[in-house]
Structure formats: structure tokens, C-alpha cells
Structure 1
């Protein structure tokens, strides 16, 4: 019990004093996840709006596949990315394996289906409300998509935050494609796993505190955005 209390005390002190290792790992995690989030949102949000507006033959199947991909095991994603980026793989010549870029690629693949599915649910309801008006105004498909993306921005931000929460807590795929290299690809989740195995509970708990704080902040932001959307405020 005393060892646990000592570990918690040391972890708290590491956070309060902004320990260099803890800060470096945290900033690296944020850099990787935010980069992946921007790229994933650029893909997922227009896709969600397109699926809400456009009717085509394989639309329902596309939506079903997108929803199914939300449950894709991250470890499998990591394995697939590893195979493609390894020296024997088709993209091995790029030398991206065990780099932050590989981690970003894996996170993008993981969070695109989540952001697109959550955003599509909201944009589909918004399109049902705007359909007659936009059709009567003879708007183009691009204009309709742009209108949905702008007027549904709160719901889309909520979807993006959900993607951030998924990405920042990912460990399996990141461990495989990043290699958990010190000062290069070591992020919050992989560092926690490593330090726990080494018995360095102070740093592991300190990193855990930061990860929990980020998760709580994201969930509070989602809750606040949901409330403001319901009340009709920005």
C-alpha cells in the first residue's frame, strides 16, 4: 500500500513539475493524433455529407461497410499498415515504418469510419430538414454539401472530438507501426505500457493522469456541444 501511495505521489509531482519526459511524450502524442484528426476529418466529413445528399445504387452498402469498419480491430489495422510499409511491402521504399508518419496513417484508417458514421447520422437528419429548400433553390450538389457542412458544424465537431478520443487512446496499432522508439515514436499509451513493464509506476501513472485528463476534457467538450446544439446555441 505504501508503494502505491509513493507511486501516486511521485506521479502527481511529475505532472505538477512538468517533467521533461512526460511533457515530451504528451506533446508527441498530441502532434500525432491532431495530425491524424485533421487528415481524417478532411476525408470523413465531406464523405458523410456526400452520403447524406447523394442517392446512388451502392449507397446503403457503402454506409453499412462504413459502420462495420468502426469495429475494425486496431491491431489488424496496425498489421496491414506494417505489411504495406515494411521493406518487403509495396510502400517499403518510402521508409515510413517506425516513424510518426506511419502512426498517423494507422490512426487515420482507424478514426475515419468513426467520424464519418457519427457525422452521417447528424447530416442525414439535417438533409431531411433542408432537402425541399435546397432543391427549390436549384443548388448544385457541391453547394448542398457545403451548406450541410457549415450548418451542421457543431455536430461535425462532436464527431471529430469522438475521433480524437479514439485516436489518443490507441495503443495496439501504434505499437506495431511506430515501434515505441524513445524520443521518436513513443506516445502516451505505448509509454504507459513500457513503463509499467519496467516497474516505473511513477511515470506510468503520471502519463495515465494526463491521458485521463485528455479523455475527460474531450467528453466534457462533446457533452457541452450536444447541449448547445439541442438549445440552438453555438
Structure 2
């Protein structure tokens, strides 16, 4: 208990005093997780919409792959992405290994199936006749799809929150493709692991509390948007 309390005090001290390293790591964490979440939303929601609205041979197989992807071990994702980005890998010429963009790619791969699977669940919960009704009233395909997305806004925001939670808490893939380089690819999760390996448990707890504060702030914002959408629909 004393270690937890001292870690909390140190975290508050570092935040209040404006510790440069902590703020740098925290901002990089927000940048990497934010971009990865945006990419996963851009990929996952259209896939979820497509699966929810279209019937085609092999649909159940696609859904099973999406569900399987929701539980992909991050360390496996990190290994596969690193093999692609290594100097002699298929994408080695891009020089992305041990960069921020390598971390964003790995985290987007982790989050995209989560967003797609939960988006599919949210959109599948709508009345199947709603889309036909919108089309019969003169809406175009794009307009009908947009209205369906607005109708499922609460469930889709939950999918975004789950995707964000999956990437901001990720460690293994970030370590593999980012290398935990100070000032370049060190984020709050990898910094915490490093401090634990050095035996600096107070500092590790401080980074952990900062991570919790950042994660809660983002989730609180998304929750506000979710509840605001609920009031609008009433």
C-alpha cells in the first residue's frame, strides 16, 4: 500500500511540476493511440457496416475471422508487423521499423478487428427493415448508410472506446516494432515496463497512474459524446 501511495504522490508531483519527460511520453502515447484508433475506426466501421447489411457466401466465415481477430495476442501482431517492416521484409524499403508509425500500424492492426466486430454487433441490432424503409423514402445508398450509422451511434462509440482501450494499454507490439527509444518511441506502457525491469517501482507506478489519467480522460470524453447522442435520440 505504501508503494501505491508513493507512486500516486510521485505521479501527481510529476504532472503538477510539468516534468518534461512525463509530458513527452504522455503526449506521444496520445498521438500513437489516437492515430491507431482513427485508422481502426476508418477500417472497422465500414467493414462492420458491410457485414451487417450484405448477405454473401462465406459471410459467417468472415465474421468468425473478425471475432478471432478481436482476441489476437498483441505480441503476435508485433512479430508479424516487425517481419514485414524489417530491412529485408516486404516493406523494409519504407524504413518504418523502430518509428512511431510502426507502432501506429501495429496498434491499428490490433484495434481494427475490435472496432469491426463491435460495429457489426451494433448495426446488426437495428431493425432490418429500417434500411429498406429509408431507401423506399428516396434516400440514396450513402444517405441510408449514414442514417443507420447515426442510429447506431451509441453502439459504435462503444466500439471506438473498446478499440482505444485495446491500443492504449498495449505493450508487446509497441516494444517489438518501436524499441522503446527515449524521446522517439517510448510511450507510457513501455516506460512502465522499463522502470519495473530496473526495479524503480515508484516511477513505474507514477507512469501507470499517468496512463490511467490519460485513458480515463479520453474515455470520459467519448462517454459524454455517447450520452449526448442518447439525449438527442429521445
Q: Could you tell me the TM-score, scaled by structure 2's length?
A: 0.89
Instruction: Tell me if the contact between 1:46 and 1:149 (Cα under 8 Å) persists in the aligned partners.
Output: no
Q: Higher mean Cα deviation, 196-205 or 83-92?
A: 196-205
User: What runs of 5+ residues in structure 1 fail to find an aligned partner?
Assistant: none
Partner of 1:184: 184
Relative to structure 1, the CA distance from residue 229 to residue 60 in structure 2 (aligned partners, 3 Å threshold; closer, same or farther) is farther
Instruction: Tell me if the contact between 1:53 and 1:145 (Cα under 8 Å) persists in the aligned partners.
Output: no
Task: Give the Cα separation in 2 of the matches to 1:35 and 1:65.
Answer: 24
Residue 233 (structure 1) shift: 4.5
Relative to structure 1, the CA distance from residue 82 to residue 130 in structure 2 (aligned partners, 3 Å threshold; closer, same or farther) is same
Partner of 2:207: 207
Task: Give the Cα separation in 1 of the matches to 2:36 and 2:53.
Answer: 26
Quote the RMSD (CA, aligned, Å).
2.4
User: What runs of 5+ residues in structure 2 fail to find an aligned partner?
Assistant: none
Instruction: Tell me if the contact between 1:119 and 1:159 (Cα under 8 Å) persists in the aligned partners.
Output: yes
Residue 207 (structure 1) shift: 1.1
Secondary structure at 2:89 match in 1: coil
Task: Give the Cα separation in 1 of the matches to 2:163 and 2:172.
Answer: 16
Task: Give the Cα separation in 2 of the matches to 1:213 and 1:3.
Answer: 18
* 1:39-96 Cα deviation digits (max 9, x unpaired): 1111111111111111111222111110111011110000000000001211111110
Residue 167 (structure 1) shift: 0.6
Task: Give the Cα separation in 1 of the matches to 2:125 and 2:225.
Answer: 17
Partner of 1:44: 44
Relative to structure 1, the CA distance from residue 174 to residue 127 in structure 2 (aligned partners, 3 Å threshold; closer, same or farther) is farther
Secondary structure at 1:183 match in 2: coil
Instruction: Tell me if the contact between 1:49 and 1:123 (Cα under 8 Å) persists in the aligned partners.
Output: yes
Q: Higher mean Cα deviation, 126-135 or 31-40?
A: 126-135
Residue 133 (structure 1) shift: 0.9
Relative to structure 1, the CA distance from residue 187 to residue 43 in structure 2 (aligned partners, 3 Å threshold; closer, same or farther) is same
**After the TM superposition, which residues 124-203 of structure 1 pair with which residues of structure 2 at under 5 Å, given as runs?**
124-128=124-128, 130-137=130-137, 139-203=139-203
Instruction: Tell me if the contact between 1:99 and 1:185 (Cα under 8 Å) persists in the aligned partners.
Output: yes
Relative to structure 1, the CA distance from residue 98 to residue 149 in structure 2 (aligned partners, 3 Å threshold; closer, same or farther) is same
Instruction: Tell me if the contact between 1:102 and 1:177 (Cα under 8 Å) persists in the aligned partners.
Output: yes
Instruction: Tell me if the contact between 2:37 and 2:163 (Cα under 8 Å) persists in the aligned partners.
Output: yes
Task: Give the Cα separation in 2 of the matches to 1:85 and 1:92.
Answer: 5
Partner of 1:106: 106
Q: Higher mean Cα deviation, 23-32 or 202-211?
A: 202-211
Residue 3 (structure 1) shift: 6.5
